[in-house]
């Protein structure tokens, strides 16, 4: 849930998009995907300190690609 909360806050991905991301990931690793309202409720309960995260990537560019087949993350 913490990872999903970061994706929601930092990349502005809506909860239905996060559900689609999880559905793609569940094809690789078998797990049950919660509905978007459950993701919303649980992600809003997670306390995230964004300040430290933004400082750690201040001089780096992080690229995240999301589509229906999964995710790819690169540092450039």
| Per-residue confidence (pLDDT) for residue 45, from 0 to 100 | 85
Tell me the average pLDDT across 62-70: 68
Per-residue pLDDT of 19-56, as tens digits, reads 998 898 888 888 889 888 888 888 888 877 666 555 56
d(CA 8, CA 29) in angstroms, rounded, equals 21
Per-residue pLDDT of 5-22, as tens digits, reads 888 887 888 888 989 988
What is the tally of structural domains in the chain? 1
Cα angle, residue 62 at apex, residues 58 and 63 outer, rounded to 5°: 155
Query: Domain range for residue 34?
Result: 2-75
User: Which long-range contacts link 62-71 to residues 24+ away (Cβ below 8 Å)?
Assistant: 64/7, 64/11, 66/13, 66/17, 66/21, 67/24, 68/20, 68/24, 69/24, 70/24, 70/25, 70/27, 70/28, 71/21, 71/24, 71/25
User: pTM for this structure?
Assistant: 0.55
């Amino acid at each position: 849930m913490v990872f999903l909360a970061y994706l929601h806050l930092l990349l502005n991905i809506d909860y239905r998009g996060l559900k689609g991301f999880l559905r793609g990931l569940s094809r690789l690793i078998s797990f049950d995907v919660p509905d978007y309202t459950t993701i919303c409720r649980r992600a809003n309960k997670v306390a995230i300190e964004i300040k430290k995260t933004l400082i750690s990537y201040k001089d780096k560019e992080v690229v995240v690609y999301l589509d229906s087949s999964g995710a790819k993350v690169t540092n450039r």
